[in-house]
Structures are given as C-alpha cells and as structure tokens.
Structure 1
Amino acid sequence: MDRERLIERKIGERLRRRRIELGLTQEQVGRIVGVSYQQIQKFERGANRVSAARLVLMAERLRTDIHWLCGITDFHPVTAGPPHSSGAETPDPHQAFAQIGDPAVRVALGGLVRAVVERHSASQPG
C-alpha cells in the first residue's frame, strides 16, 4: 500500500476514534464539519481524501490536535468540553502552540515560558 493511502487510513482511524471519544454519530460530525454523514463514512474508511482546509476544520471543531489527527504524533491532548461548530472559541494552548509553523518562533516561545516558570519558582518561599 502506498504512503498516501496509509496516511488517509490513519486520518480516518483517528477521525473515527475522536468521534467515538466525543460520543457523536457520523451524522453529528458531518453537521459539525459541514459535510454529509456519507462523507464522514468515506473519510473514516480512508475511501475519500480529506482536503487540508477540511482537516484543519475537523481538528478545530472536534477539539483535537491536527498533528494527532494526521497520525504525525501519538500525543493526543484531548480538550474538555463538547465540540464546537465555529472557530470563534479560544483554542487549547497545546493546539495553538502546535499550529505555529515557524520552528524558531516555537523555540523562542518555549524559552519564554521556561524563563517565566524559573522566575516564578525563584520568587516562591523555599
């Protein structure tokens, strides 16, 4: 099986897993992401490809990490609460950090967070 097909299958498996974690039907997920339940069935089987834009929407609206959804990582920061139907809510910090495309920016932010934690720890009575 070629790599593209394996990736589509992994996305389908993860989509199904997340749907079940949230206790949703294929029809409900379809409404949340704006497609028919038949399309969700095809995505879950890996029969149809998921566009990049739809993949981002799925991750946002199913409150999961896009890297996990794509099978890039096994780290799955499950966000509490129900899925949401619009991107208006504040994203989970893990998701927001993972969406930063520039590795240098991620490294800089990581350094900033470490510095804040160290400063906070140093100011606490020991």
Structure 2
Amino acid sequence: MAFDDTSDARTANPIDEHVGRRIRMRRKLLNMSQTELGDALGLTFQQVQKYERGANRVSASKLYETARTLKVEIGFFFEGLADTVDPAGAINPENPCLALACVSHGPELAVALQQVSGRLRGKILALVEQMTADAAGVDTATGAAA
C-alpha cells in the first residue's frame, strides 16, 4: 500500500510546528544560537529556522541528533502535544507556561521576569494587559469596546 499524504504542502503540520517550537524553546534555554545548533547538526541556520517554524519536517535521525545536542530525551519534543495543539495548530491557552515558552522572546521574557521583584512584575503585567486591551480596542475602565 502506498503512502498517501493529501495534506496541502504549503500548510505546516501542527505536530511539526509543535516539535519545532520545542526545539526552539530548548535551544533558547541553553543560550544556543541557530548557527551553533546548525553547526552541531551539520545544517545551515536557515534549515534550523525551517525546523523551528515547522516548515520542514525533522527526520528521525536528525531528531535523535537534535535531542543529543540539546541534552534531552527524544520524547521531550512531543511533551504536551495533546494538551497544546488543537486541530488548527494553535497553541492552547490552557497551558500558559508552555505557550510562553513557545512564542517569540517568551523564554527570554520568562528569565527576565524572574530577575525583578514581585511588585514590579505586577506592574509589568498591568502594562501588558493595558497594551493587549488597547490593541483589542477595549476600554479597560469599563470593559466595553472602545
């Protein structure tokens, strides 16, 4: 029986995106650049970027090498998959810690937030909530659409 993959080639698979986000998260936690990871794996940094975006699938052998380089078990790349990926590929907000780790600048933000006082973190949260409300066109004083 032939393998039939009828998915649109231009649309990234949610599982590939999840694995890519986990690669990116672990790389960032180790303070490793895409170039450094690429060099360790015999890839260009552009290929690492494609893996991290889920644009290209990571082969089994390359995933094994990636796990060894990033000092994790292969299963790490699939952790939280059922909890974080919906059929459309969006990050599920029910797991905000993993969601933060997977967004651009998320790991750096988490590290930076740990270095400030709880009071200042509260002010930063209020600022971000205000910015989010402003972007959504919501008046934070009344909760109504602006």
Counterpart mapping for 1:79-98 below 5 A: none
Where do 1:30-45 residues align within 5 Å? 30-45=38-53
Query: 1:23 maps to which residue?
Result: 31
Matched, 1:55 2:63: yes
Structure 2 CA distance for aligned equivalents of residues 72 and 59 of structure 1: 17
> What secondary structure, in the 3-state scheme, does the structure 2 residue paired with 1:23 have?
coil
- C-alpha distance after superposition, 1:37-86 (max 9, x if no partner): 00000000000010000001100111011101133679xxxxxxxxxxxx
Q: Which runs of 5+ in 1 are unaligned?
A: 75-126
Whichever residue aligns with residue 26 of structure 2, its letter is R
C-alpha distance in 2, partners of 1:54/1:60? 10
Q: Which has the larger radius of gyration?
A: 2
Identity %: 39
Q: Supply the distance in 2 between the matched residues of 1:15 and 1:51 (Cα, whole angstroms).
A: 13
- Contact 1:7–1:71 under 8 Å retained in 2: no
1:67 aligns with: 75
Q: After superposition, give the CA deviation of every residue in 1:85-123 in whole Å (9 maximum; x if it has no partner).
A: xxxxxxxxxxxxxxxxxxxxxxxxxxxxxxxxxxxxxxx
User: SS at the partner of 2:79?
Assistant: coil
Work out which of the residue numbers 8, 14, 17 in structure 1 matches 2:22: 14
Provide the TM-score with structure 2 as the length reference: 0.45
Which amino acid in structure 1 is aligned with residue 38 of structure 2? G
Aligned pairs, number: 72
Unaligned runs of 5+ in 2: 1-6, 84-146
